[in-house]
Structure 1
Amino acid sequence: MLKKLQIFALILSLFSSFSINAFAIPLPDNPFTLNGTNQYARIPYNNVLEFTTGTIEMWVKPDWVAGSVSTNLCLISERENSTRYSFHINKNLDGIGLYNNNTYATISYSFTQGNWYHIAFVMTNTNTEIFINGTSIGFTGNRINTAITGLPVKIGISQVAGNFAGNEFFKGAIDEVRIWNTVRTQNQIQTNMSNSIATNSSGLTAYYPVDAGVTTEANRATRVLKDYTANSFNGTLYNYWDATITTGDASSVTVSSASVDGNVTDDGGNTVTQRGIVYSASNTTPTVADTKVPAGSGTGIFSSTLTGLAAHTTYYARAYAINSLGTFYGSTIQFTTKTLQTITFNPIPTKTYGDADFDPGATASSGLAVAYTSSDQTIATIINNKVHIAGTGTVNITASQAGDNNYDAATAVTQNLSVNKALLTVTATNQTKTYGTANPELTAGYTGFVNGETSANLTTRPTISTPATTTSPVGSYPINVSGAVAANYQITYMNGSLSVYPGIQTITFTTPPKTYGEPDFPVSATASSGLPITYSSS
């Protein structure tokens, strides 16, 4: 905004009789610059701005070498594919003119690169008069095209898209833009051009005195070019702020791939058409000229997966975003792909139920500890990284190594483990009995139980039998044992014997008293067994 410039109004009036090139015009204090490439301001269409006759004033500083641009650069316009009006300074800095969709009419004037000029375009029904530094330099001979309506006002460009897009961006600085729906006189222009004006001035439809810092970070969020009239026809500034993007950490790093996140937190007012991650093993600040992995468009968080990487290699990566202003990057991170490792796992010897826990013996080329898993917990379990035999049969023992920050996970290796049954011998206990008595209880003993197991672990107890009976004669009879079942044992049997011994008998023999000479007489004795008695004399 122009401030404290009233003293120059007096200077201007004192020197009004001199050549307009002789004025010592003070520089505006808060202009906004335009880079001649893509920067401009846009005020949305409003019919109040679509006057039939009126005046546009502005302070202007052209900043290009005469002839260094390819076309006449635009100061202000109502133009898209058609044109209501479009005011330009000639590319050679030798004139200024109006394009009205039919003709571009110019008035000769010598501009100097880097100098400030106050320019007023006074538009009537029939013609357009141009004032520079408060003095008329003549008429263009054409007028604004009032038949064309519905267009926005743009400062610093006429056409953003189309045949002239990118060719007519103004290069320099602009301040104190005033749009009137009245035809301003030379006196009004001269009196007020170096002064701030009242925002409610008669006929003033829009007033852009330009705030300090309008193109700084303070205005990034709104990008507003404020209209200080009650109409509030605020404009929007374009292409003054870079896109803001951050690079996240690398994750899921393997031998040949990694994921890197990014976040476009602000597009700077220009849509991000592509975003992603760039990376290189040699360039510490990679660009899109290196390898890139696109990940969509717009703002927000994204992730790119980098593939085809070399093992054990350091890479540099950063997020990028592309919009109409160019390509922007986040900070560079670095990560190192992991090293391959392999597992050596020799075949496991056959084991027997009851064998002690053992180390399967696998090793990793990285030197990292190997872990094991069992495919059947009823046959083998892993305790303290050793194999504990829990049953018999066949089981797969798998050796694995998950890797760390430096090594990738190894390919798992599996070996077969066969566990044989333990040998269990069931031996019938030898027994004896006396003839005529009942058979004793038949029992058996066990040899070969492991792991603290006993006959209680038999799923089926053995059958023990003998052919001997109570009345079997004295002799030796077999005790047979068979039929025992135990899940983890191979059972063999050893039969016993039952020895039948003669029974103990008594004789009852009463001797009758006899006298010598008496005749022979029968004797009578009985055996408790009932067996016949034989007699003998001593």
Structure 2
Amino acid sequence: MITHNPKSPLFRFDGNKDYADIPFKNELTPPNLTVELWVLQIEKYKYSAATLPLISTTEQQELGYTLGEYNAATGLQMIFQVDTLTERYPLFVKTPLPLNVWTHFAGTYDQKSQISCFYINGELLQTYNFANTHYNPLKPQTPATSNILRLGALVKKSKDGKNLVFCEFNGYMDEVRIWDVVRTQQQIQETINQELTGKEPNLVGYWRFSNLSDNKVPDLTGKGLDGIIIKNDNPVTPIPKTQTFEADLCSQAGVNFTNTFAQEVSFKISASGTWKPASWGELTPGGWPGFEYQSQMKYPNNTSFALLVVDVETKTVLGELGSEITLVLKPSQTITFVVNDVPISEGYTDGYKDNTGNISITCTALIP
């Protein structure tokens, strides 16, 4: 299974002039190239006719390479592009950067064959032979910003020398890797779910965005290609650790809750209140054990009229809220809270429609 499941909190690019800079060294722009990173986007890219550079070595997009999302007239699509002083050579995959799910991207360029390849979650989705590209990055001009490795934004200099920040990314990145070799699909797939040691052959730069201190992003290869986080003065509002909301007692679909943290999180979950199914007496979230029509329930193997926690993707019941429970949710994992009532079926009316009362649900993230 292709997935990214960080165990530690990550730096959040908040879409408001946050980005990361890694000062230029020749190793960052090798003639033969593989770029890899994991991305979780929180908010849809908003700029029109422009590229959101998730990772780029070119301030003016005139030299080097860029991997990101392009807002074309036909819609959002992913792009891996190599540039020379005179031309741009983009490779497009006509799919937008997904929201609220970790996605792995990799782009490769082979100087000898002049072939570019674009992979998403380890699958080759686009390849092209850019004949006569002669991609061979040059050293930066003065000041040394032309080939700086930048993540999360497009930054240009104004006439008075100030940084103008555009096309900002809103979300998380992790496991950013630069190689001076064209990795094969098999090689990409073999390490896609693994943390590296930093000592792998041909690995020239490697950065994680967890547990950062002093705005420094250390290069885990030990080559000294450390990055710096550039943050705005108004950081994003943190995700609340505790959320309380009402159950939808009249809905077979229930009400959803998603782990919006970038890492795996344990949640303490409880429910309170009373409600009535049809004309029967008041019930708690624990339901009605021993109900005689148990077999007619939406989930016949669980307590009748109990408030259930169900995984949206697998449809598996994860627990009953007759008492407080603790669940571990992966990043972007969604659960739904639904009462175990009689659904619409042959010979039965919708048992949910006549429910009355109120049940409050509280989810608390058990993180520092």
TM-score normalised per structure 1? 0.37
Percent identical: 23
Q: Does 1:47 align with 2:37?
A: no
Aligned to 2:6: 28
Distance in 1 separating the partners of 2:220 and 2:44: 34
In the alignment, the residues of structure 2 paired with residue 144 and residue 197 of structure 1 have an alpha-carbon distance, to the nearest angstrom, of 31
Give the equivalent residue in structure 1 for 2:47.
Answer: 69
Secondary structure of the structure 2 residue equivalent to 1:32: coil
- Other-structure match for 1:107: 93
Which residue is 2:126 aligned to? 138
* Counterpart amino acid of residue 224 in structure 1: K
1:121 aligns with 2:117: no
The superposition leaves residues 460-504 of structure 1 with CA deviations (integer Å, 9 ceiling, x where unpaired) of xxxxxxxxxxxxxxxxxxxxxxxxxxxxxxxxxxxxxxxxxxxxx
1:237 is the counterpart of 2:212: no
Instruction: Say whether the 8 Å CA contact 1:123–1:144 is kept in structure 2.
Output: no
Distance 1:36 1:107, change over 3 A: same
For the residue of structure 2 that corresponds to 1:188, the secondary structure is helix
Q: Which has the higher contact order (CA 8 A, sep 6+)?
A: 2
User: What secondary structure does 1:87 align onto?
Assistant: strand
Letter in 1 for 2:152: G
Looking at structure 2, the residues matched to 236 and 98 of structure 1 have their Cα atoms a distance apart, in angstroms, of: 24
Shift in Å at residue 69 of structure 1? 2.6
1:199 is displaced (CA, Å) by 1.2
Give the whole-Å Cα distance in 1 for the aligned partners of 2:115 and 2:164: 27
Q: Summarize the Cα distance change of 1:122–1:26 in structure 2 as closer, same or farther, 3 Å threshold.
A: same
- Of 74, 78, 93, 1:95 maps to 78
Deviation at 1:98, TM superposition (A): 1.5
Residues 338-357 of structure 1: CA deviation (Å, up to 9, x unaligned): xxxxxxxxxxxxxxxxxxxx
Superposed CA offset, 1:97-139 (max 9, x none): 3252523522212432222111111121112211110111112
> Equivalents in 1 of 2:194, 2:232: separation in Å?
27
Alpha-carbon contact 2:157-2:164 (below 8 Å) kept: yes
**CA offsets 1:356-391 (integer angstroms, 9 cap, x no match):** xxxxxxxxxxxxxxxxxxxxxxxxxxxxxxxxxxxx
Q: CA deviation at 1:239?
A: 1.2
Distance in 2, matches of 1:156 and 1:140, equals 26
Aligned residues between the structures: 213
Within 5 Å, which residues of 2 pair with 1:180-199?
Answer: 180-199=179-198
CA distance in 2, matches of 1:55, 1:40: 21
**1:161 and 2:147 are equivalent in the alignment:** no
Q: Distance in 2 between matches of 1:103 and 1:166?
A: 22
Q: Specify the SS of the correspondent of 1:198.
A: coil
**Displacement, 1:96?**
2.5
- The answer as to whether partners of 1:52 and 1:146 remain within 8 angstroms in 2 is yes
Moved more, 203-212 or 97-106: 97-106
Which residue of structure 2 aligns with residue 317 of structure 1? Answer: none
What does residue 83 of structure 1 align with? 63
Instruction: Answer whether contact 1:136 1:186 (CA < 8 A) is retained.
Output: yes
Amino acid at match of 1:73: L
Structure 2 vs 1, CA of residues 31 and 148 (structure 1 numbering), >3 Å: closer, same or farther? same
Alignment partners' CA distance in 2, 1:109 and 1:194: 22
1:223 has 2:215 as partner = yes
Measured after TM superposition, the shift of residue 155 of structure 1 is 1.1
TM-superposed deviation, 1:53: 0.6
- CA–CA distance in 2 between the matches of 1:189 and 1:241? 38
Taking the aligned partners of 1:97 and 1:140, their CA distance within structure 2 comes to 11
* CA deviation after TM superposition for structure 1 residue 200, in Å: 0.5
Counterpart of 2:356 in structure 1 is none
CA contact (8 A) 1:56 1:179 kept: yes
2:143 maps to 1:149: no
Asked whether the equivalents of residues 77 and 86 of structure 1 are also in contact (C-alpha less than 8 Å), the reply is yes
Evaluate the alpha carbon distance shift between residue 97 and residue 51 of structure 1 in structure 2; reply closer, same or farther with a 3 A threshold: closer
Which segments of 5 or more consecutive residues in structure 1 lack a partner in the other structure? Answer: 1-10, 13-24, 244-538
CA distance in 1, matches of 2:40, 2:124: 18
State the AA in 1 paired with 2:21: R
Q: 1:140, CA displacement in angstroms?
A: 5.2
How far apart are residue 229 of structure 1 and its match?
0.9
Q: Structure 2: which amino acid aligns with 1:172?
A: G
Unaligned runs of 5+ in 2: 141-146, 236-368
SS in 1 for 2:190: helix
**Does the 8 Å contact 2:152/2:168 carry over to 1?**
yes
Give the match for residue 239 of structure 2.
none
Post-superposition Cα deviations, 1:376-409, rounded to whole Å, max 9, x if no partner, equal xxxxxxxxxxxxxxxxxxxxxxxxxxxxxxxxxx
- Cα distance change, pair 184–62 in 1 and its aligned pair in 2 (3 A): same
**Does the C-alpha gap of structure 1 residues 27 and 90 become closer, same or farther in structure 2, counting only changes over 3 Å?**
farther
User: What is the CA-CA distance between 1:175 and the residue it aligns to?
Assistant: 0.6
Distance 1:169 1:140 in 2: 28
1:113 aligns to what SS in structure 2? coil
Question: Hey, what's the Cα distance between the residues in 2 that align with 1:140 and 1:124?
Answer: 11
